[in-house]
Amino acid sequence: MPSQGTIGDRVRGLRLSRRMSQAQLAGPDLSDSYVSLIESGKRTPTPVVARLLAERLGCTTEFLLHGIEPRQRIDTELGLRHAELELLHGDPSVAADRFGEIVKVAGEENVMLAAHARFGRARALEVQGEIGPAVKAFERLRHEAAAHPERLADLPLAVALSRCYFLAGDILRARDLAVHALGEVNRLPLSQGEIAVELAVSLMEITGTRGADSPSMSYVRNILSVNGVPAAVNRTAEIHALWRASVTAADGEDSALAVRLADDAIATGRPARMASQLALVAMGWARLAASTGDEPLDEARELATAASEVFAVFPEHAQEHARSLVVRAHVQLGVDDAQGAVTLARTALDMLDGQAGPIGATAQLVLARAALSRGHDVEATMALDTAKLSLSDVRHEFSFTGREAARVWRDLGDLYGQAGVVEEQTGAYRKALEAAGVRDAMVGVTVDSALVR
């Protein structure tokens, strides 16, 4: 059965294969000129007309409108859900392959499913750290969303691109996209749901150093006020049980049940995903408060503690858990609890188990600050030297590491200055500038600037 092209192409192909004239297909209910307009793509049949034509052409309405049969469509929908589960709770590289297969199956015959599969593949590339290819994929999708808003929404794409450009070190583009997305959510208005919280995470990272009085940070503050930081429950076992049941149902050719079970698995994981994202926002806000002193530290301590409690539930968030403990340690320094800060910093270091990187280095900076507050300059310098070694050992895997490392190098320079070690202070500042300039992931990626803003 022919299935390529537009609705008009399918109507014409089926009519010719059945040796019918346009007048015969039109029958007593339609005009042959109207059939001609449909075949030429100048008219789209209404649902009633589509059902009538499908009956006369001996096909399903689904096939006539979308180019695929109901069973084929539900199998494709199921493939999308299993790829989504692989992305969220499995192997992102496998997810990228599965989304790619769906794009090939859907092709031009079902542009909606193909567009959603391409969006999923771009997300999978991002999760794998393939930021350059992810940006290219998201930008192509934005072009399509601009031309065909009925297929794709621009807002999730703008948020995703903002996040990717930030990861690539292109802060200007990241900020432009985040501001564009902020205008959209304020227009709706939108303060709940995954898109709103994902935008808050991006805004917290991109504009968090500007203070709490900017429009971006006001939105972040509102997200925290409306949503809070909900307690998290690890339901990973339940998610995987539902996922396995969905696969078993699909193997038994019970596609409808398989889709339902896959939907249940995705929905079961949504509260934990929301809690983790909100914990990132809360942790960023607490870090801002601790570094600027502009916000109440009691609230900052509550937010950082709530974030720690969320991350502690999930073994895969061990890095974020350690980071939240360091943020809490900074807050404790802000309320003159040096001993409490030291305890939290050492706990974070124990969790990291000697792993090099900005988190461990930041924990060492807490120990140095506490030592300096007690007048123990030698002890402080030892901690600073350890932090320097930790940063110098970093193999820059692509995450927030570049910018985070720049911030830690700068703080390291400040503390070396307080300890009176001027030569090391100068070297640390130089390293901060180098780290802030890393954009390796975007080499060779060209972008249409008209779509960025």
pLDDT-derived band at 107 (thresholds 50, 70, 90) equals low
Instruction: Please name each of the domains of the chain with its CATH number.
Output: 7-66 (1.10.260.40), 336-442 (1.25.40)
Residue 70 has pLDDT above 80, yes or no: no
How many C-beta atoms surround the C-beta of residue 187 within 10 A? 9
Tokens 């900005």 belong to: 358
Given this model, what pLDDT does residue 441 score?
Answer: 47
Please give the Cα distance from 438 to 435 (Å, whole number). Answer: 6
pLDDT tens digits, 390-403: 888 755 433 444 67
What value does the mean pLDDT take over residues 119-145? 96
pLDDT-derived band at 197 (thresholds 50, 70, 90) equals very high
Phi-psi label, residue 233: left if phi above 0, alpha if psi -120 to 50, beta otherwise: beta
pLDDT-derived band at 340 (thresholds 50, 70, 90) equals very high
SS (H, E, C) 30-42: CCHHHHHHHHCCC
pLDDT tens digits, 139-169: 999 999 998 887 789 999 999 999 999 988 8
* Of 366, 277, 293, 273, nearest in space to 325 by CA: 366
Given this model, what pLDDT does residue 295 score?
Answer: 67
pLDDT tens digits, 386-436: 999 988 875 543 344 467 778 889 999 999 999 999 999 999 999 888 877
**How many whole angstroms from its chain centre is CA 324?**
20
Given this model, what pLDDT does residue 448 score?
Answer: 47
Q: Contact 114/102 with Cβ under 8 angstroms?
A: yes
Given this model, what pLDDT does residue 294 score?
Answer: 66
- pLDDT > 70: percent of the chain: 90
Given this model, what pLDDT does residue 445 score?
Answer: 52
Phi-psi label, residue 293: left if phi above 0, alpha if psi -120 to 50, beta otherwise: left
pLDDT tens digits, 362-380: 999 999 999 999 999 999 9
159 contact partners, CB below 8 Å, separation of at least 6: 177, 178, 181, 195, 198, 199, 202
